[in-house]
């Protein structure tokens, strides 16, 4: 999907071409490895402080667009985690924007909570004994912690807007006890 030149890894393929490539009919048939390459490139460019804000936001949207191709088996907890990290970065760096799905702060919060995969009470019970749990249950709790940690960069914005729900507060209090 991308080609690097000899200038320190800057892509030769223009952003516009990569955006078209990601949205092209049949693009979903590309192998997950190519989507991951695109995601890695896009995240790196999104974080490049020397680029204009609008360009960096477009790179962030491209990173988000690459995730379903990276995880073709369908929505997974890892997809949710990676998406939350990109979205939280965009929100922290460029501010929330309810008209931009990539920077919609209440939507990020809702998506993260909706995709934790366990009721909070169950997670709290398992957290108390996580060292004795089977590996898969430990990993499930770890994925919950990773999802919640993606929200930390935007937590001050959530609190400033008084949009932190009691449920989110309780989850965030539980997070340090998760593996």
pLDDT in tens, the chain (179 residues): 444 443 333 357 899 999 999 999 999 899 999 999 999 999 999 999 999 999 999 999 999 999 999 999 877 889 999 999 999 999 999 999 999 999 999 999 999 999 999 999 999 999 999 999 999 999 999 999 999 999 988 888 876 655 567 788 889 899 999 99
Q: Which residues of 98-115 are buried (b: 16+ CB within 10 A; e: fewer)?
A: eebebbbbeebbebbbeb
Q: What pLDDT sits at residue 40? A: 95
Instruction: Write down the pTM of the prediction.
Output: 0.87
CA distance 157 to 164: 9
Please report, for residues 37, 55, 61, 82, 132, the alpha-carbon distance to residue 15 in angstroms, rounded to integers and kept in the order given. Answer: 14, 9, 11, 21, 48
> Residue 5 forms beta bridges with which residues?
none
> Residue 11 forms beta bridges with which residues?
4
Q: What pLDDT sits at residue 5? A: 40
Q: What pLDDT sits at residue 156? A: 81
For residues 82 and 46, is the Cβ–Cβ distance under 8 A? no
Backbone angles phi, psi at 11, to 5 degrees: -70, 145
């Amino acid at each position: 999907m991308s080609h690097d030149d000899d200038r320190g890894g800057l892509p030769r393929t223009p952003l516009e071409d990569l955006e078209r490539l990601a949205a092209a009919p049949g693009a979903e048939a590309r192998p997950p490895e190519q989507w991951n390459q695109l995601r890695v490139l896009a995240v790196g460019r999104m974080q490049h402080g020397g680029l204009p804000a609008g360009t960096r936001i477009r790179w962030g949207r491209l990173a988000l667009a690459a995730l379903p191709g990276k995880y073709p088996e369908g929505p997974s907890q890892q997809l949710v985690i990676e998406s939350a990290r990109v979205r939280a970065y965009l929100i922290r760096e460029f501010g929330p924007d309810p008209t931009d799905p990539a920077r919609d702060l209440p939507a990020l919060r809702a998506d993260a909570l909706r995709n934790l995969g366990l009721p909070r009470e169950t997670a709290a019970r398992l957290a108390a004994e996580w060292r004795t749990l089977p590996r898969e249950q430990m990993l499930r709790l770890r994925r919950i912690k990773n999802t919640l940690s993606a929200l930390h960069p935007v937590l001050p914005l959530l609190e400033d807007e008084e949009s932190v729900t009691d449920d989110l507060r309780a989850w965030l209090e539980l997070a340090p006890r998760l593996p």
